[in-house]
């Protein structure tokens, strides 16, 4: 008790002020913030020594003990990175609600040549771009908006298909539009893969909602199949609106539907949903096909033969 009295802040600070400040940052504070609140180095050392607080980095102090949660690690990464840092990449998109995309490591964008000590679980990405106006206003944590987070990640992702797949997911999940991504491509110049990204966005705007759909449209052009109607809105047996990946209308009135399954469709939950969806769309005069993105990549000729067998390409309307 007496020790705590001797270690009060240097200036008159309400006792709960540091708690309020820490609570707004997932329980974390920088030494500079503590100093601004009037808590000198001696006070911080006392808290650390009594196991009430813990040192996360030479700069960042946790006002609790134990392992950091993912949210707390994001805060630690940003506070350690400095005032112009922000969560970016897949971690930022995770906060914006992207599904089926995860990375264990958290990306934090920092100014070029701003050197920071390593922090486990965080990857610091240096950039010359000024992202001060690119933070999403919906978070207390500095987080890049969807468009710059997705484009910066995609520009430096080694695998080209992964890069395009991320942009497809962002559009498909309604986190951004092709138009908003184009605007940010212009704002972020020079940006790697600009031409590739613009082509992909044109395809997405034309109806392709995934890389698989985009690949299939290219296959149709190459082998001479008529282009399908894409993302057709249909009401299923329960009255719910659904969207189909590709459709052809044959002269006899038959409708040929094709659903293209990505990797996540193979998960049990998605697989069952897809089966239920297919049954709900079934009706007389409808032929349903399904294929995987792997089939499109490795053996598209088999699918093409199957489609031609039922009449696609013979005067489809």
Q: Are residues 268 and 175 both part of a single domain?
A: no
Share of the chain above pLDDT 70, in %: 86
Burial of residue 290 (CB within 10 Å: 0-12, 13-18, 19+) is middle
Residue 215: inside a domain: no
Cis peptide before 190 (omega within 30 of 0): yes
- Report pLDDT for 105: 96
Six token digits for residue 22: 């820490």
Write down which residue in 205, 238, 268 finishes a domain. 205
Q: How far apart are CA 30 and CA 304, in angstroms?
A: 60
Closest CA to 175 of 203, 192, 151, 202: 151
Is the pLDDT reported for residue 9 higher than 90?
A: no
Q: Are residues 58 and 121 both part of a single domain?
A: no
pLDDT confidence tier of residue 281, bands split at 50, 70 and 90: low
Residue 296: inside a domain: yes
Is the pLDDT reported for residue 232 higher than 80?
A: yes
Most confident of 31-45, 139-153, 243-257: 139-153
Q: Are residues 80 and 180 both part of a single domain?
A: yes
Count of domains forming the chain: 3
Q: Are residues 76 and 200 both part of a single domain?
A: yes
Q: Are residues 51 and 91 both part of a single domain?
A: no
Residue 214: inside a domain: no
Q: Are residues 107 and 200 both part of a single domain?
A: yes
Cα separation values, 235 from 39, 157, 161, 303, 308, Å? 63, 38, 32, 26, 26
Write down which residue in 62, 82, 114 finishes a domain. 62
Q: Are residues 89 and 164 both part of a single domain?
A: yes
Residue 314: inside a domain: no
Query: Worst-scoring range by mean pLDDT, 138-142, 279-283, 286-290, 300-304?
Result: 279-283
**Average pLDDT of the residues in 128-149:** 94
Q: Which domain holds residue 116?
A: 70-205
């Amino acid at each position: 008790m007496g020790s705590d009295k001797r270690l009060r802040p240097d200036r008159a600070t309400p006792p709960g002020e540091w708690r309020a400040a820490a609570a707004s940052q997932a329980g974390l504070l920088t030494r500079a913030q503590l100093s601004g609140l009037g808590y000198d180095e001696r006070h911080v050392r006392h808290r650390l020594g009594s196991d009430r607080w813990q040192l996360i980095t030479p700069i960042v102090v946790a006002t609790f003990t134990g392992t950091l949660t993912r949210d707390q690690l994001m805060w630690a990464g940003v506070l350690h990175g400095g005032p112009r840092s922000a969560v970016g990449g897949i971690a930022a998109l995770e906060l914006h609600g992207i599904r089926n995309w995860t990375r264990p490591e958290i990306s934090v964008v920092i100014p070029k040549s701003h050197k920071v000590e390593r922090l486990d679980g965080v990857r610091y990405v240096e950039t010359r771009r000024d992202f001060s106006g690119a933070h999403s206003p919906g978070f207390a944590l500095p987080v890049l908006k969807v468009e710059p987070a997705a484009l910066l990640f995609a520009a430096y992702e080694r695998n080209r298909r992964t890069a395009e797949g991320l942009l497809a997911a962002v559009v498909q999940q309604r986190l951004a539009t092709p138009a908003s991504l184009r605007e940010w491509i212009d704002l972020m110049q020079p940006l790697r893969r600009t031409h590739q990204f613009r082509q992909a966005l044109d395809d997405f705007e034309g109806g392709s909602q995934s890389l698989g759909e985009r690949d299939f449209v290219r296959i149709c052009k190459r082998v001479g199949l008529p282009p399908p109607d894409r993302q057709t809105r249909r009401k299923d047996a329960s009255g719910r609106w659904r969207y189909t990946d590709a459709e052809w209308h044959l002269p006899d009135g038959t409708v040929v539907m094709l659903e293209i399954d990505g990797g996540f469709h193979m998960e049990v939950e998605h697989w069952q949903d897809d089966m239920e969806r297919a049954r709900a769309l079934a009706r007389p005069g409808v032929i349903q096909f399904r294929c995987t993105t792997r089939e499109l990549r490795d053996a598209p000729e088999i699918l093409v033969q199957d489609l031609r067998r039922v009449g696609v390409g013979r005067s489809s309307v």
